[in-house]
Amino acid sequence: MKLRQVNQTTGELGLLTWQAFGALVRPPYEVDLWVVQMEQIGVRSVGVAGVTTIFTGMVMALQTALSLPSLGIKYYIGSVVSKSLVRELGPVLTALIVGGRIGAGMTAEIGTMKVTEQIDALRSMAADPVKKLVVPKLIATLVMLPALTVIGDALGILGGLIVAVLQLDLPPALYLNDVLSSLKLADVASGIGKSFFFAYFIAIVGCYNGLHTRGGADGVGRATTNTVVLTAILVLVSDFFLTKLFYLVP
């Protein structure tokens, strides 16, 4: 993308954000649409988020213990797995895996409505497409992605426990005590705080690309691909700066 296109896209994303939050606080509040989107975005993503994080926790526990056996690191598996998952891997992996799924879905749904002129039909009936389409998806993602992150963190720690007990012959109490003694409230707050930013990026980019889809079915495919790529880049780049920010905040 050229610099001019980047600036234009950034400005349009900012404008869409302003319109979405403006429509959010303006009645009527269509809670039924919000609940439907929460079910589609959150509940249906529990499986993929759970599988991703539980096996990540298992791999981390196994790799950490087998890579540094001479240091006796296996007795600190709980702290290694919990800290890494809660502060970093849990929010990022959940955002990448779930975000790719729901972001692509948002773009495909809104993009199909765009190329079939259903959005123009909404405007002709004096309905605001941003309030009807963007706001429910934004609210649902902001609520459900942090919830999925918390569930994923718990399952990842459980995966580490399974490996610690079955593969490394550690007592479950030793592992859980290490987790509870090393994990602080600031660690949990850092991971959940990141997930709110990631949720915003996923929802706003997915809806933006959907609303700007052109060129029929081929255009929908391109917009969906752009959403997956751009959200992954935004998640990874913002994660670096958010990590620095949360470590600076006491």
Is pLDDT above 80 for 248?
A: no
- Would you list the domain boundaries of the chain? 33-239
According to the model, what pLDDT value does residue 204 have? Answer: 93
Q: Are 60 and 85 in contact (CB under 8 A)?
A: yes
Is pLDDT above 90 for 183?
A: no
Question: Is the pTM for the entire model greater than 0.85?
Answer: yes
Per-position b or e across 85-97, b if 16+ CB within 10 A of its CB: bbbbbbbbbbbbb
According to the model, what pLDDT value does residue 69 have? Answer: 62
Q: What tens digit of pLDDT does each residue of 119-172 get? A: 888 888 877 888 888 899 999 999 999 999 999 999 999 998 998 888 888 888
DSSP for 50-101 reads HHHHHHHHHHHHHHHHHH-GGGTGGGGHHHHHHHHIIIIIHHHHHHHHHHHH
Cα dihedral: 105, 110, 116, 122 (round 10)? 150
According to the model, what pLDDT value does residue 250 have? Answer: 52
Is pLDDT above 80 for 103?
A: yes
According to the model, what pLDDT value does residue 171 have? Answer: 86
Is pLDDT above 80 for 70?
A: no
Is pLDDT above 60 for 57?
A: yes
According to the model, what pLDDT value does residue 249 have? Answer: 58
Number of helices and strands (H, E) in the chain?
Answer: 11, 0
Higher pLDDT, residue 68 or 11? 11
Once rounded to an integer, what is the mean pLDDT over residues 77-93? 88
Is pLDDT above 80 for 2?
A: no
According to the model, what pLDDT value does residue 27 have? Answer: 82
Task: Provide, rounded to the nearest whole percent, the portion of the chain with pLDDT above 70.
Answer: 95
Mean pLDDT for the chain? 87
According to the model, what pLDDT value does residue 202 have? Answer: 94
Which of 111, 118, 128 is closest to 214 using CA atoms?
111
Q: What tens digit of pLDDT does each residue of 186-219 get? A: 888 888 999 999 999 999 999 999 988 888 778 8
Q: What gap in Å lies between CA 222 and CA 238, rounded to an integer?
A: 24
